[in-house]
């Protein structure tokens, strides 16, 4: 497995499919599985390194050393690619991602409608603020939440106990943050 992944694209495919034959640029790169009959999960990071492993069947969600129930997650992210990657990762862990919102007002409406178990929210949105959205949502009662941000955020706008994942992060960071957020709730 590749360590220190910045951005990861996860693709499940049959390597014998004509769709992928001879592709050498972009996300799809020629890659031979040891057993071409077995689907593989190929991870491509932005540096073009590849980690290859068999596709595992979906399993119960685990975070840290203890099993965690499947969570209904509200994802608020204005970068489409990041939202897609996070959704794939979270659903692969057995969670359910409801609507994906990209604005402060959309996040507030979706939280009222969906009543999520957990919110993962980009702190800086193109329209509004993820921090302001959480403050408004929490007036109706506590919902565990994780902020994600591309810049150091903690000292400027958040309370001391806020859970923040700075981009880039990997699946281990995400699992640890989910553990901490759910323990706080």
Residues 83, 44 within the same domain: no
- 23, part of any domain: yes
- 2, part of any domain: no
Number of separate domains in the chain = 2
pLDDT per residue as tens digits for the range 25-45: 333 333 344 444 444 443 443
Q: pTM higher than 0.75 for the full model?
A: no
pLDDT per residue as tens digits for the range 47-91: 333 333 333 444 444 444 445 589 999 999 999 999 999 999 999
Residues 22, 91 within the same domain: no
Residues 75, 105 within the same domain: yes
Residues 164, 95 within the same domain: yes
Torsion on CA atoms 105, 108, 113, 116, rounded to nearest 10: 140
Domain that holds residue 136: 62-184
């Amino acid at each position: 497995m590749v360590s220190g992944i910045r951005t990861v694209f996860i693709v499940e495919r049959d390597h014998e499919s004509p769709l992928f034959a001879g592709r050498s640029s972009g996300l799809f790169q020629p890659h031979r599985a040891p057993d071409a009959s077995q689907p593989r999960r190929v991870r491509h990071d932005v540096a073009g390194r590849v980690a290859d492993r068999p596709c595992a069947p979906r399993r119960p969600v685990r975070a840290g050393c203890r099993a965690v129930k499947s969570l209904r997650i509200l994802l608020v992210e204005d970068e489409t690619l990041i939202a897609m990657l996070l959704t794939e990762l979270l659903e692969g862990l057995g969670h359910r991602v409801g609507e994906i919102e990209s604005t402060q007002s959309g996040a507030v409406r979706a939280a009222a409608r969906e009543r999520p178990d957990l919110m993962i929210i980009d702190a800086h949105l193109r329209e509004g603020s993820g921090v302001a959205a959480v403050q408004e949502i929490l007036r109706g009662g506590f919902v565990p939440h994780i902020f994600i941000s591309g810049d150091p955020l903690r000292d400027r706008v958040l309370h001391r106990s806020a859970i923040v994942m700075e981009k880039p992060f990997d699946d281990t960071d995400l699992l640890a943050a989910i553990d901490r957020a759910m323990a706080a709730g």
